Amino acid sequence: MKVGIRDGMLPVSFEESFQKAKDIGFDGIEVCMGTNYREHALWQEGGIDKVNSLAESAGIEIPSLSPGGFTAFSFMHPTDSTRSEGIAKLQYLAETSPQLGAKVILVPFFGGGQIQDDHINAPRFIDGLKAVAETAEKHGVSLAIESTLSAEQHQQIIDNVGSSAVGVYYDMGNATGLGYDSPSEIRSLGGAITQMHIKDTGGNHAGEGEVDFPAVFDAAHAVGYDSWFVLETPGKDDPVASAAKNLNFVRNNF
């Protein structure tokens, strides 16, 4: 079991986040990018080498990439050019991930890009995900969906796409906050869970909100989950101290 943290959870620049994560004790860092993704290092000349150098110098891994800004380019976007840009963005990351040693791309569906019930079987949605999945399969990368849907609905999407590259990025904090039974969902999804965020409800440290972490961890053990736990936890008044507290919680309880 390895534990990482999203780069934006640390109170330092992107360049400093790798060493800071290592100093705190993390095994890896999830590289995040927003709506203005072309400004990110991964889209700059020499940027991939730069990011690799930062990780190697710190002695830390990059388990996953998180293009949070994808929500503005979702598969159901009514403007074809915007939708196509979103698909191209994910395909580029699928091609890039192996060069970083990253095996997972978080594919977020929140806000304006939230998946509605009628999207699950919509050809426009499924075809968009299939196009990216085809590229991901070629490069040995997983697309991990994170959304407001239930486990059953996520499984339906996975079945509709029919690609080994598509799974779920499970966030027990989000799921619990939405009223889902996280331990039951984890057991239901099983091997469809590609990666997990660590988060509690209400902006609390892990173990101090409404998430039943003992049951969540028991469920993760039961389905043989052996991938990364990536912290997406609030920094509160002291982000470094909070990160260390949440890291220790996972290591001491899983």
State the DSSP code for 61. B
pLDDT attached to residue 222: 98
pLDDT attached to residue 18: 98
Token pair of 136 as six digits: 């991901």
pLDDT attached to residue 128: 98
Q: Where are the domains of the chain?
A: 2-253
For the full predicted model, state whether its pTM sits above 0.85. Answer: yes
The string of pLDDT tens digits covering residues 149-189 is 999 999 999 999 999 999 999 999 999 999 999 999 999 99
Which residues, other chains included, contact 187 with Cβ-Cβ below 8 Å and sequence gap of 6+?
A: 219, 222, 223
Beta-bridged to residue 196, according to DSSP, are: 170, 229
The beta strands (E) that lie in 74-232 are given as 104-109, 142-147, 166-171, 193-198, 228-231
Burial 117-134 (b: 16+ CB within 10 A, else e): eebeeeeebbebbbbbbe
Residue with tokens 């840009």: 85
The string of pLDDT tens digits covering residues 195-244 is 999 999 999 999 999 999 999 999 999 999 999 999 999 888 899 999 99
pLDDT attached to residue 151: 98
Q: Return the CATH number of the domain spanning residue range 2-253.
A: 3.20.20.150
pLDDT attached to residue 236: 86
